[in-house]
Structure 1
Amino acid sequence: MVKKRSLLIAGHPTSVTLEEEFWSALKDLAATRGTSVTALVEAIDQGREGNLSSAIRVWVLRQYRGA
């Protein structure tokens, strides 16, 4: 199932739509790093090209692949 969530990124409200599995993985990765999901998304946002939701999916996939 796809879920849309609102986040405050770099001082601006934004919404991100991801599948529940990606939200869960993002939460787990944030917890492992001792940070919040918002802080992690802000970091992903700073280095992204294109759509934020897609950038998050690619980032999560790379983390699980060990890249």
Structure 2
Amino acid sequence: MTALRKYSVSLRGHRTSFTLEPEFHAELKAIAEERKLALAALIFEIDTEREEKVNLSSALRLFVLRSLKKSA
């Protein structure tokens, strides 16, 4: 299993961080490229749609999972 890494991004004018496995981060980048979005824009979308009780890292993983299941 790959070690978790901490990443930072600016959302709504302030820096925030999230922790993901590099494989999930790579999939997020691929999805953003596929949609012709900046990675920060995709993360912003996911962040605005997530439930308040779900942390950003979990929301990002679930988004990747759902995206991969849709394309399978």
TM-score of the superposed pair, with normalisation by structure 1: 0.94
Percent identical pairs in the alignment equals 45
Residues 1:56 and 2:72 are matched in the alignment: no
What is the SS of the residue equivalent to 1:66? helix
C-alpha separation in 2, matches of 1:33 and 1:47: 17
* Aligned residue type for 2:70: G
Structure 2 SS opposite 1:15:
strand
Give the partner amino acid of 2:42: L
Equivalent residue number for residue 28 of structure 1: 30
Which amino acid counterpart does residue 59 of structure 1 have in structure 2?
Answer: F
* Structure 1 segments of 4+ aligned residues over 6 angstroms from their partners: none
Quote the Cα distance in structure 2 between the aligned partners of 1:39 and 1:22: 16
State the structure with more CA Rg.
2
Unaligned 5+ runs, structure 1? none
Q: List runs of 5+ in structure 2 lacking aligned partners.
A: none
Q: How does 1:3-42 map to 2 (within 5 A)?
A: 3-42=5-44
Counterpart-to-counterpart distance in 1, 2:38 and 2:5: 18
- Greater share of residues in strand: 1
Amino acid at match of 2:58: S
CA RMSD of aligned residues (A): 1.1
